[in-house]
Structure 1
Amino acid sequence: MTDHPTDDQIARALARADGALAAAGHRLDPADRAASDAEIAAAMRGEITFDDAVAIGLVRITGKDQQ
Protein backbone atom coordinates (compact mmCIF):
# COMPACT_ATOMS: atom_id res chain seq x y z
CA MET A 1 0.00 0.00 0.00
CA THR A 2 1.28 3.44 -0.90
CA ASP A 3 1.18 6.13 1.74
CA HIS A 4 -0.43 9.31 0.51
CA PRO A 5 -0.16 12.75 2.10
CA THR A 6 -2.81 13.88 4.54
CA ASP A 7 -5.32 16.56 3.59
CA ASP A 8 -3.38 18.99 5.80
CA GLN A 9 -0.12 18.21 4.00
CA ILE A 10 -1.85 18.66 0.64
CA ALA A 11 -3.32 22.00 1.74
CA ARG A 12 0.12 23.23 2.87
CA ALA A 13 1.74 22.14 -0.40
CA LEU A 14 -0.95 23.89 -2.44
CA ALA A 15 -0.58 27.05 -0.36
CA ARG A 16 3.19 27.05 -0.96
CA ALA A 17 2.62 26.58 -4.69
CA ASP A 18 0.06 29.40 -4.74
CA GLY A 19 2.56 31.64 -2.94
CA ALA A 20 5.28 30.85 -5.45
CA LEU A 21 2.95 31.54 -8.37
CA ALA A 22 1.81 34.82 -6.83
CA ALA A 23 5.42 35.89 -6.22
CA ALA A 24 6.09 35.27 -9.91
CA GLY A 25 3.09 37.43 -10.82
CA HIS A 26 1.00 34.52 -12.11
CA ARG A 27 -2.70 34.66 -11.34
CA LEU A 28 -5.49 32.22 -12.16
CA ASP A 29 -9.20 32.85 -12.15
CA PRO A 30 -10.48 31.76 -8.70
CA ALA A 31 -12.66 29.04 -10.23
CA ASP A 32 -9.70 27.69 -12.23
CA ARG A 33 -7.51 27.80 -9.13
CA ALA A 34 -10.06 25.84 -7.08
CA ALA A 35 -10.46 23.23 -9.80
CA SER A 36 -6.69 22.97 -10.23
CA ASP A 37 -6.20 22.53 -6.50
CA ALA A 38 -8.82 19.76 -6.48
CA GLU A 39 -7.12 17.95 -9.37
CA ILE A 40 -3.67 18.22 -7.81
CA ALA A 41 -5.01 17.02 -4.46
CA ALA A 42 -6.66 14.03 -6.17
CA ALA A 43 -3.36 13.18 -7.84
CA MET A 44 -1.49 13.49 -4.54
CA ARG A 45 -3.97 11.04 -2.97
CA GLY A 46 -3.46 8.63 -5.87
CA GLU A 47 -7.02 8.99 -7.18
CA ILE A 48 -5.81 10.12 -10.61
CA THR A 49 -2.37 10.35 -12.18
CA PHE A 50 -0.45 13.62 -12.23
CA ASP A 51 -0.44 13.38 -16.03
CA ASP A 52 -4.24 13.24 -16.00
CA ALA A 53 -4.43 16.17 -13.55
CA VAL A 54 -2.21 18.27 -15.82
CA ALA A 55 -4.16 17.31 -18.94
CA ILE A 56 -7.49 18.16 -17.29
CA GLY A 57 -6.11 21.51 -16.17
CA LEU A 58 -4.73 22.36 -19.59
CA VAL A 59 -8.03 21.60 -21.27
CA ARG A 60 -9.93 23.75 -18.78
CA ILE A 61 -7.51 26.68 -18.74
CA THR A 62 -6.91 26.84 -22.48
CA GLY A 63 -10.47 25.91 -23.38
CA LYS A 64 -9.16 23.49 -25.98
CA ASP A 65 -10.11 19.86 -26.44
CA GLN A 66 -6.89 17.84 -26.32
CA GLN A 67 -8.31 14.76 -28.07
Structure 2
Amino acid sequence: MTRYPDPIPATDDQIVRALAQADGVLAAAEFTMSPDNRAASDAEISAAMRGEQSFDDAVAAGLARITGKGTAP
Protein backbone atom coordinates (compact mmCIF):
# COMPACT_ATOMS: atom_id res chain seq x y z
CA MET A 1 0.00 0.00 0.00
CA THR A 2 1.37 3.39 -0.95
CA ARG A 3 1.40 6.01 1.77
CA TYR A 4 1.49 9.62 0.69
CA PRO A 5 3.82 12.15 2.33
CA ASP A 6 2.84 13.65 5.64
CA PRO A 7 -0.73 12.38 5.81
CA ILE A 8 -2.87 13.63 8.65
CA PRO A 9 -5.18 10.65 8.99
CA ALA A 10 -8.80 11.34 9.74
CA THR A 11 -10.52 9.67 12.64
CA ASP A 12 -13.28 7.16 12.03
CA ASP A 13 -15.79 9.75 13.30
CA GLN A 14 -14.54 12.31 10.77
CA ILE A 15 -14.85 9.76 7.98
CA VAL A 16 -18.40 8.85 9.02
CA ARG A 17 -19.36 12.54 9.01
CA ALA A 18 -17.76 13.09 5.58
CA LEU A 19 -19.62 10.12 4.11
CA ALA A 20 -22.88 11.41 5.61
CA GLN A 21 -22.22 14.81 4.03
CA ALA A 22 -21.59 13.10 0.69
CA ASP A 23 -24.94 11.32 1.08
CA GLY A 24 -26.60 14.69 1.67
CA VAL A 25 -25.01 16.22 -1.41
CA LEU A 26 -26.07 13.29 -3.59
CA ALA A 27 -29.61 13.41 -2.19
CA ALA A 28 -29.86 17.17 -2.75
CA ALA A 29 -28.76 16.65 -6.34
CA GLU A 30 -31.28 13.79 -6.66
CA PHE A 31 -28.41 11.58 -7.80
CA THR A 32 -28.25 7.88 -7.04
CA MET A 33 -25.38 5.44 -7.43
CA SER A 34 -25.50 1.69 -7.71
CA PRO A 35 -24.68 -0.05 -4.42
CA ASP A 36 -21.39 -1.33 -5.90
CA ASN A 37 -20.32 2.13 -7.07
CA ARG A 38 -21.36 3.67 -3.76
CA ALA A 39 -19.33 1.11 -1.80
CA ALA A 40 -16.30 1.72 -4.02
CA SER A 41 -16.69 5.48 -3.65
CA ASP A 42 -16.97 5.22 0.14
CA ALA A 43 -13.83 3.06 0.23
CA GLU A 44 -11.89 5.59 -1.88
CA ILE A 45 -13.01 8.52 0.25
CA SER A 46 -12.08 6.64 3.42
CA ALA A 47 -8.66 5.66 2.01
CA ALA A 48 -7.95 9.25 1.00
CA MET A 49 -8.96 10.53 4.43
CA ARG A 50 -6.64 8.01 6.09
CA GLY A 51 -3.74 9.09 3.85
CA GLU A 52 -3.65 5.77 1.98
CA GLN A 53 -4.67 7.30 -1.37
CA SER A 54 -4.43 10.81 -2.78
CA PHE A 55 -7.59 12.91 -2.82
CA ASP A 56 -6.92 13.65 -6.50
CA ASP A 57 -7.07 9.93 -7.31
CA ALA A 58 -10.21 9.45 -5.22
CA VAL A 59 -11.97 12.39 -6.88
CA ALA A 60 -10.92 11.29 -10.37
CA ALA A 61 -12.22 7.77 -9.78
CA GLY A 62 -15.48 9.10 -8.35
CA LEU A 63 -16.04 11.43 -11.28
CA ALA A 64 -15.31 8.60 -13.72
CA ARG A 65 -17.97 6.51 -11.98
CA ILE A 66 -20.52 9.32 -11.95
CA THR A 67 -20.01 10.42 -15.55
CA GLY A 68 -19.19 7.04 -17.05
CA LYS A 69 -16.14 8.67 -18.64
CA GLY A 70 -12.53 7.87 -17.95
CA THR A 71 -11.46 4.98 -15.81
CA ALA A 72 -12.31 4.03 -12.29
CA PRO A 73 -10.33 1.34 -10.49
CA-CA distance at 1:56 after TM superposition: 2.7
Higher relative contact order, structure no. (Cα contacts within 8 Å, ≥ 6 residues apart): 2
Change (3 A) 1:58 1:3: closer
**Cα displacement (A) at 1:2:** 4.4
**Inter-CA distance 65–36: structure 2 relative to 1 (3 Å threshold):** closer
Q: Is the 8 A contact 2:26 2:32 kept in 1?
A: yes
Per the alignment, residue 24 of structure 2 pairs with 19
> Where does residue 57 of structure 1 map in the other structure?
62
TM-score (norm. length: structure 2): 0.71
For the residue of structure 2 that corresponds to 1:12, the secondary structure is: helix
Structure 2: distance between partners of 1:56 and 1:19: 20
Gapped regions of structure 2 (runs ≥ 5): 1-5
Separation in 1, partners of 2:36, 2:52: 21
Q: Can you give the 5+ residue segments of structure 1 that lack an aligned partner in the other structure?
A: none
**Aligned residues: CA RMSD:** 2.1
Q: Deviations over 1:43-67 (max 9, x none)?
A: 11110101111223344x226448x
Tell me the TM-score normalised to structure 1 length. 0.76
Percent identical: 60
